[in-house]
C-alpha cells in the first residue's frame, strides 16, 4: 500500500480550507484517510498552518510520500529539517541534545 500525505479540501465555494491527511494513494481526494495531521488555510495573509509535528515526522520516517504542496508546507514549518536531524541521530552522527539545539535555533531564526 502506497501512502501519501496530501491535502483534503473543505470549506465553502471560493474559500477553501485544507486538512493535511495521510491517505492511501488509491483513495479519492476527499475520500477515506488514515489520519489527520494538520490544517492549512490559504485565505489568511500569510497562510496559516496548524500541524502535529511529531505525527508528520513519524509518517515521513515510515515512508509516506508528501505531495509537492505538502512538501512545501512541511519545509516552511521545519518538518523536513526535523526528519533530517532525527535520521542523523539514528546513524550516530548527532545526539538528541544537538538535534533539539539545532532545531530550536532554526525555529527562533525563522520566527524573527
First to last CA, the chain: 41
Average pLDDT over residues 82-103: 83
Q: Name the pTM for this structure.
A: 0.86
Report the pLDDT value the prediction gives residue 64, as an integer from 0 to 100.
Answer: 93
Average pLDDT over residues 8-12: 92
Report the alpha-carbon distance of residue 38 to residue 102 in Å, rounded. 24
Report the pLDDT value the prediction gives residue 112, as an integer from 0 to 100.
Answer: 59
Question: What sign does the dihedral 18-21-25-31 (CA atoms) show?
Answer: negative
The H or E element containing residue 102 is helix 96-111
Report the pLDDT value the prediction gives residue 92, as an integer from 0 to 100.
Answer: 78
Average pLDDT over residues 28-33: 83
List phi, psi (to 5°) of 39. -145, 155
Question: What sign does the dihedral 96-97-98-103 (CA atoms) show?
Answer: positive
Report the pLDDT value the prediction gives residue 65, as an integer from 0 to 100.
Answer: 93
Cβ(33)–Cβ(23) below 8 Å: yes
With CA atoms as reference, report the closest residue to 51 among 32, 65, 36: 36
Predicted confidence band of residue 1 (pLDDT cuts 50, 70, 90): low
With CA atoms as reference, report the closest residue to 69 among 97, 47, 101: 47
Cβ(86)–Cβ(99) below 8 Å: yes
Amino acid at each position: 500500500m502506497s501512502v501519501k500525505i496530501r491535502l483534503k479540501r473543505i470549506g465553502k465555494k471560493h474559500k477553501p480550507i485544507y486538512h493535511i491527511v495521510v491517505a492511501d494513494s488509491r483513495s479519492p481526494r476527499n475520500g477515506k484517510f488514515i489520519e489527520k495531521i494538520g490544517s492549512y488555510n490559504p485565505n489568511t495573509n500569510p497562510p496559516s498552518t496548524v500541524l502535529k509535528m511529531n505525527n508528520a515526522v513519524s509518517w515521513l520516517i515510515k515512508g509516506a510520500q508528501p505531495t509537492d504542496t505538502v512538501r512545501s508546507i512541511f519545509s516552511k514549518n521545519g518538518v523536513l529539517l526535523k526528519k533530517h536531524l532525527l535520521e542523523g541521530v539514528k546513524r550516530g552522527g548527532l545526539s538528541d541534545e544537538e538535534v533539539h539545539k539545532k532545531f530550536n535555533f532554526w525555529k527562533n531564526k525563522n520566527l524573527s
